[in-house]
Amino acid sequence: MVHMPTRDQVIDALRTVIDPELRRDIVELEMVRSVEIHPNGVVDVMVSLTTPGCPIRTHFETGVTQAIRELGEVSHVNVSFDVLSDNEKQALGRKLGRGALPEGALAQVSNVICIGSGKGGVGKSSVTANLAAALAAQGKQVGVLDADVWGYSQPRMLGLGNERPRVNAERKLMPLTAHDGISVMSIGFFIEQDAAVVWRGPMLHKALQQFLEDVDWGALDYLLIDLPPGTGDVSMTLAQLLPQAKFVIVTTPQPVAQKVARRSAEMATKLKLEIAGVIENMSAFVTPTGERYAVFGEGGGQLLAEELEVPLLAKVPLTMGLREQSDAGTPLVLSDPDDPAAQAIYQGARGLIALSPVELPVMQAPAPAAAPKPVGMSLPMA
């Protein structure tokens, strides 16, 4: 007696099949047209595509077949295709549009990269600041959005202390400029030093949305986003606003990587963002005489990268220089490019460049010059 999977089980299994362009699963996208389960162990599935000549047909075919075969008791899976009607495509567009930024915001930004980690204090902010400077040193236009609204650190790390952002003629906030023309925006620019910020859900959402929509980021090759630790509200909101963003996970070398790996993989699934790679930070400390101390263990970054099937972009060693630079305001990659940590970050930057599609941002005519005037944001203070 063969126990065939139920229709619900098949549908559930199909939730693991992701449309690589739309970054959502085919069930959520309502692209599963029909499912038929035959008593002889054969399952027929019809998937609707957005265009007839869809190059990702085989991706769906393999994905659907594998997902259903994993249910057991299935002898064969037939996958067929049809095309969404114009009405269905419009409905899909509306569905995808919900929560996303309006057309035009960040239109000139080629790559959005969120730098995150499963836990705090692993060096996300240090890596972000240095990666930004390393990319800028390679001739890229770079922006940094400090999305750690509670523990912002980019103003300090990039040496932007006392200035306040201004608005331009189009009533957009101008990011501040750090070393080598890095455009920077942080909540820290708007509040008194060390004042605590109390954020509630909708306000937080609004503030982040403002940072993306109402800031004149201009044409950027890379917008790096320094995330707060974990998968809190900030990460969720950003993932929702920026479905095109990629994710770089910073981790330490502890070989408890199994647990960290699982948490990071869960985080990526939850955020529905593509993972671009892993950066291991605080790798072995090497003394000037060449002695090596693996203070935080070894191999964690490699394990995590293997687990997630993404490249290990860099192994950044612990160095005195990297610790000291966070307070000095000049990224180590600029102040001491020969430091082993700086070298590793340059390598990470080159890796990121190699991963990015070569695509020139659309240039716009420069806005007419106008006398800038200072602005404030309405922020809840404690």
Q: Which of 154, 186, 251, 319 binds ligand ATP (CB under 6 A)?
A: 319
Stretch that binds ligand ATP, among 87-95, 187-195, 240-248, 312-320 (CB under 6 A): 312-320
Kindly give the residue spans of alpha helices, DSSP state H, lying in 109-228: 124-137, 154-157, 201-213
Separation CA 144–CA 146 (nearest Å): 6
For position 316 contacting ligand ATP by CB under 6 A, the verdict is yes
B/e letters for 72-83, b = 16+ CB within 10 Å, e = fewer, are: eebeebebebee
Q: Where in 123-142 is the site for Mg ion (CB under 5 A)?
A: 124-125
Closest CA to 16 of 4, 5, 32, 2: 32
Complex with ligand ATP: residue 125 or 235, whichever CB lies closer = 125
Separation CA 20–CA 128 (nearest Å): 26
Complex with ligand ATP: residue 235 or 281, whichever CB lies closer = 281
For position 120 contacting ligand ATP by CB under 6 A, the verdict is yes
C-alpha triplet 134, 216, 102: angle, nearest 5°: 110
The residues pairing with 114 across neighbouring beta strands, listed in sequence order, are 225, 247
Q: Which does 229 bind (CB under 5 to 8 A by kind): ligand ATP, Mg ion, none?
A: ligand ATP
Angle formed by the axes of helices 233-241 and 201-213, to 10°?
40
Separation CA 216–CA 173 (nearest Å): 6
Q: Where in 152-191 is the site for ligand ATP (CB under 6 A)?
A: 153
Stretch that binds ligand ATP, among 28-36, 93-101, 145-153, 205-213 (CB under 6 A): 145-153
Complex with Mg ion: residue 125 or 235, whichever CB lies closer = 125
Cβ proximity of 346 and 337 under 8 Å: yes
Q: Which of 175, 229, 253, 301 binds ligand ATP (CB under 6 A)?
A: 229
Q: Which does 120 bind (CB under 5 to 8 A by kind): Mg ion, ligand ATP, none?
A: ligand ATP
Min separation Cβ 234 and Mg ion, Å? 12
Site of interaction with ligand ATP (CB under 6 A): 117, 120-126, 148, 151, 153, 229, 281-282, 316, 318-319, 322-323, 326, 341
